[in-house]
Amino acid sequence: MQLLECVPNFSEGRDLAVIKQITDEIESVDGVRLLNVDPGKATNRTVVTFVGQPEEVIEAAFLAIKKAGEVIDMRKHHGEHPRMGATDVCPLIPISGISMEETAEYARRLAQRVGEELKIPAYLYEHAQPNKDRNNLSVIRAGEYEGFFKKIKQPEWKPDFGPVEFDAKRGATVIGARDFLVAYNVNLNTTSVRRANSIAFDVREAGRVMREGDPINGKIITGKDGKPLTIPGSLKAVKAIGWYIEEYGIAQISMNLTNIQVTPVHKAFDEVCEKASARGIRVTGSELVGLIPLKAMLDAGRYFLAKQQRSTGQSEAELIRIAIKSMGLDELSPFKPKERIIEYLLRDKADSKLVSMTLSGFADETASESPAPGGGSISAYAGVLGASLATMVANLSSHKKGWDNRWREFSEWAEKGQHYKNELLKLVDQDTIAFNRIMDAFGLPKGTAEEKAARDEAIQSATRYAIEVPFSVMKLAHQSMEVIRAMAETGNPNSVTDAGVAALCARTAVLGAFLNVRINAAGYHDKSYTAEVLAEGQALSQMAMDREAEILEIVNGKIV
């Protein structure tokens, strides 16, 4: 499925009733999912995030731009953030199944419709703008709303679509296609915008203009081509300015991280801390605007744990907690991961029904008259418990007194254990989903030849999936025994029996899952495939039993 994300910024952050009128338009489009609404009082600006398939997304964006033009009056607008229109900027971001080139074409279609149907001057930016002299958002927006009455009359600033007349009430809008961007503000213990800007110039990629003598008021130094020379900042793929937020009574460094693979959030935070400290200013926390990818938060958690020489093999929830506390993301307002991390908002709750239950709830569901969850899901969960115990031993070992020089070794083992645990957790629900697919396929109509053929195809497809899921359990549980054995051999000796129990769990997961592979393989028509899977499954079962015996021998040897 092709998925686009749209992150329009509207020039209203104080009147929630006005904002709701705009978001209601977005939610009126079937297939579009509103993920986040983030209003800012001081900036008087709201960042909205929604996703869906391309046609639905550009329809929702068009309706939102139309409504914003009706309910926002730019003649009365004041706020800290640069802006030029009721819908200031409307970027499209490819999420899955769609290229940047295709995304850019959708952005051009949207801009053309806004210009022609709504009569709002529309500019293209980033990947949607073929003219590289005017594809930078800050360059397009220079002069802001107040300056655009003159700017729009200049031939080089003729809108890409729409009238060459500036609309006093609605302003102009910028529509484009870009990579995922993280809007991120760092809080300072100062009220000085000038000092905040100095730090922003230190870190942003564009840096600062070179001047003679006084770095602020001195004469600008130009090159042979007459253009100002600049001193680059320390961070690539970062745009930044300093501003004062009256709502909080502090100055901030407001950053756009345009490529978090190049400059991740935690690197931006630490760099601002360093540059601020050099100027006698302290960072007190930070603020995320809109959404952030899960990986960015996990990477941040690992980064700050590693700085403390602590194990990075922690659970997803703990890594996120460490990231929040380390960067002070909850200083100004609560940071709720389920509402701010994009993957959490996109998750289908049906895919994690079982693992979201309490232990007693899971046991009750297993013991009920329903045939699922059954042995396949239980086998997967046995694998989860085995990997979890091994990870526990690794984490305990990394913090053992006197073993400080070995923290990285055990941290790496703990990360591996967390990987196996997380992958096996997914399969707990997937095994039950696989069983339900088979039941659904058998329930399809079979009154005609066409219906019989479709039903048989559905049964075979579901059966193949019901083989693949437990087979994946077998492979992952067997692989996790590498971590289990290492912890039995080299981990904290006080936890050696935990490694032994982990081996028993992993062996059970492998052998239990193989029972499911075998029974489902019996009903699959492709016998060459099943023969290959059964042969590999038999080999995995034997290897798991051999590994279990080796691990238990190590454990028993350390107990006596």
Q: What are 355-384's pLDDT values in tens digits?
A: 999 999 999 999 999 888 999 999 999 999
Homologous superfamily of 182-346: Formiminotransferase, C-terminal subdomain (3.30.70.670)
Residue 392, helix vs strand vs coil: helix
What Cα–Cα distance (Å) separates residue 538 from each residue in 164, 512, 519, 541, 542? 73, 12, 14, 5, 6
The residues near 201 (Cβ < 8 Å, ≥ 6 apart) are 207, 208, 233, 240
**38 included as an active-site residue:** no
* Cα–Cα nearest to 519, from 461, 466, 455: 466
How much is the pTM?
A: 0.83
Q: Where are the domains of the chain?
A: 3-177, 182-346, 349-559
**429 included as an active-site residue:** no
The residues near 488 (Cβ < 8 Å, ≥ 6 apart) are 496, 499, 500, 503, 551, 554, 555, 558
Asked if pLDDT for residue 535 goes beyond 70, the answer is yes
CA–CA separation, 323 vs 316, rounded Å? Answer: 11
* Cα–Cα nearest to 182, from 288, 40, 332, 46: 288
Burial class (CB in 10 A: 0-12, 13-18, 19+), 402: exposed
Asked if pLDDT for residue 89 goes beyond 90, the answer is yes
Mean pLDDT over all residues of the chain? 94
Question: Terminus-to-terminus CA distance in the chain, angstroms?
Answer: 58
What Cα–Cα distance (Å) separates residue 512 from each residue in 32, 376, 538? 41, 7, 12
What Cα–Cα distance (Å) separates residue 447 from each residue in 85, 146, 317, 463? 60, 70, 50, 22
Give the model confidence (pLDDT) of 293-314 as tens digits. Answer: 899 999 999 999 999 999 999 9
CA–CA separation, 96 vs 88, rounded Å? Answer: 26
Per-residue confidence (pLDDT) for residue 221, from 0 to 100 = 85
Residue 322 phi/psi, 5-degree rounding, is -65, -40
CA–CA separation, 254 vs 323, rounded Å? Answer: 19
Residue 558 phi/psi, 5-degree rounding, is -90, -20
CA–CA separation, 370 vs 354, rounded Å? Answer: 13
Per-residue confidence (pLDDT) for residue 216, from 0 to 100 = 67
297's tokens? 């938060």
Asked if 384 contacts 418 with a C-beta cutoff of 8 angstroms, the reply is no
Ranges of H-type helices in 328-448: 337-340, 342-346, 359-367, 375-398, 407-442
Asked if pLDDT for residue 548 goes beyond 90, the answer is yes
* Cα–Cα nearest to 26, from 2, 43, 50: 50
What average pLDDT score do residues 116-137 get? 94
What average pLDDT score do residues 270-274 get? 98
Q: Which amino acid is at 483?
A: V
Q: In 10 A of CB 225, how many CB atoms?
A: 5
Per-residue confidence (pLDDT) for residue 90, from 0 to 100 = 97
Per-residue confidence (pLDDT) for residue 95, from 0 to 100 = 87
Asked if pLDDT for residue 193 goes beyond 90, the answer is yes
Query: Of the residues 167, 202, 431, 498, which is catalytic?
Result: 431
- pLDDT-derived band at 223 (thresholds 50, 70, 90) equals confident
- The residue to which tokens 């992150």 are assigned: 7
Per-residue confidence (pLDDT) for residue 349, from 0 to 100 = 78
What's the CATH code, domain 349-559?
A: 1.20.120.680
Asked if 224 contacts 281 with a C-beta cutoff of 8 angstroms, the reply is no
396's tokens? 């305990």
Query: Of the residues 81, 127, 266, 478, which is catalytic?
Result: 81
Percent of the chain with pLDDT over 70: 99
- pLDDT-derived band at 429 (thresholds 50, 70, 90) equals very high
What average pLDDT score do residues 69-92 get? 94
217's tokens? 């008021």
Per-residue confidence (pLDDT) for residue 314, from 0 to 100 = 97
Residue 1, helix vs strand vs coil: coil
Positive/negative CA dihedral, 412, 288, 291, 159 = negative
CATH of 3-177 among 3.40.1310.30, 3.40.50.620, 3.30.990.10, 3.40.50.10260: 3.30.990.10
Q: What DSSP character marks residue 405?
A: G
The residues near 150 (Cβ < 8 Å, ≥ 6 apart) are 143
Per-residue confidence (pLDDT) for residue 351, from 0 to 100 = 80
- pLDDT-derived band at 247 (thresholds 50, 70, 90) equals confident
> Poorest-confidence range of 52-56, 156-160, 229-233, 487-491?
229-233
Give strand ranges (E) for 116-213: 122-126, 173-177, 182-188, 208-209
CA–CA separation, 51 vs 425, rounded Å? Answer: 27
What average pLDDT score do residues 210-239 get? 84
